[in-house]
Homo-oligomer: A and B are copies of this chain.
Amino acid sequence: MKKLINDPENVVTEALKGMELAYPDLIKVQYNPNFVMRADAPAKDKVALISGGGSGHEPMHGGFVGIGMLDAACPGAVFTSPTPDQIHAATTAVAGAKGALHIVKNYSGDVMNFELAAEMLRAEKIPVESVVIDDDVAVQDSTWTAGRRGVGATVLAEKLCGAAAEDGHPLGSLRELCKRINSQARSMGMALTSCTVPHVGKPTFDLPEDEMELGVGIHGEPGRKRTKLAAADEIVELLMEPIISDIPFKSGDEVLLFVNGLGGTPLIELFIIYRKAAEIAQRAGLKITRNLVGSYITSLEMAGTAITLLKLDDDLTRLWDSPVLAPALRKGI
């Protein structure tokens, strides 16, 4: 295992410490239970937005805590959902009278831990709503699975709902907005390499030099299918087809195209991917009016990419353009 770490057991707390030292103006970090919150918490006169999940997906979610995005983020152990204690502590630390929205990625663990936390919070009369993000079209048959995973749409939902929360939307309307974003977004990813969970010390799976995994999530798990390595353009076709045909997106739709790196993929490759994804979207008659290119939701040092398409409307576009100031996303401030 080749990583810039110390004791594998300390990866999460040391990385949190690094974030704390790097962004004192934007965030505060609490330990035991671990969570990241806005420096100006608790939220005044706005709904608090809280998300969380396993660590290893940086900058998600801690990097999205800030003005116009999340109020708090709960990082679990690497690839392990946070505990209800963390979620409870984070929520009570940042939520004001207007309550809190939990943005939860659809993984059994995340859903259950957020559910337990929400029960605890409701017992304390803290108004809390949850929206589960499940945008991953790689998981095809949802009656026979834990349902589609939450991936790239989470980043977009956090940005857009963060802007709406800043605008003063009440809890119920934020929940509906978040659901709408989720219903209008689809994603799919692929991996060139596995990744190594620090305390495990060896790659989660082996992938020969000439093969790739199609339809991976963000936890180093194998994908739906292993196939021969292909050229970038072919890979993008394999990702875009199921995305576009799923909603389905249709000619004339305005969309946001998000090309994400999984952690070990350099930007030069993401631009090559973006080029082809944009071409395919245009070929399908979609108008790409907004975009995001970079490694925003990762799977440790996995090499690979994931593409997300979000159908926009004037409302979502305006929210996307609203100011945001978080460690990993900045605009207008």
| Chain A residues at the B interface, C-beta cutoff of 8 Å | 1-7, 11, 14-19, 21-22, 55-56, 58-59, 63, 192-193, 209, 212, 229, 231-233, 235, 263-275, 278, 288, 291, 293, 295, 298, 300-301, 303-305, 328, 330-333
Contact = CB atoms under 8 A, between A and B. Distances in A.
Contacts of A7: 231
A103 to B, nearest CB: 20
B272 A15 contact: yes
Contact of A18 (B209, B212, B266, B274): B274
A15 B268 contact: yes
Given A4-B235, A6-B233, A272 B11 contact: yes
Given A264-B303, A303-B264, A330-B330, A274 B4 contact: no
Contact of A11 (B6, B193, B268, B330): B268
B266 A2 contact: no
A293 B22 contact: yes
Contacts of A235: 4
A14 B58 contact: no
B272 A232 contact: no
Given A5-B272, A272-B6, A330-B331, A264 B266 contact: yes
A4 B264 contact: no
In the complex, the 3 A-B pairs of residues with the closest C-beta atoms, listed nearest first? A18-B271, A18-B275, A58-B267
Given A231-B5, A267-B295, A272 B63 contact: no
A6 B231 contact: yes
Contacts of A300: 266, 268
Q: How many copies does the complex hold?
A: 2
A36 to B, nearest CB: 11
B4 A232 contact: yes
Contacts of A304: 4
Given A6-B233, A15-B268, 5 more contacts: A3-B269, A14-B271, A18-B272, A22-B291, A55-B268
Nearest to A330: B330
A207 to B, nearest CB: 8
Contacts of A263: 266-267
Contacts of A331: 330
B21 A278 contact: yes
A98 B332 CA distance: 29
B305 A274 contact: no
Contacts of A6: 231-233, 272
A291 B23 CA distance: 9
B21 A272 contact: no
A191 to B, nearest CB: 10
B271 A192 contact: no
Contacts of A267: 58-59, 63, 263, 295, 298, 328
B274 A21 contact: yes
A106 to B, nearest CB: 23
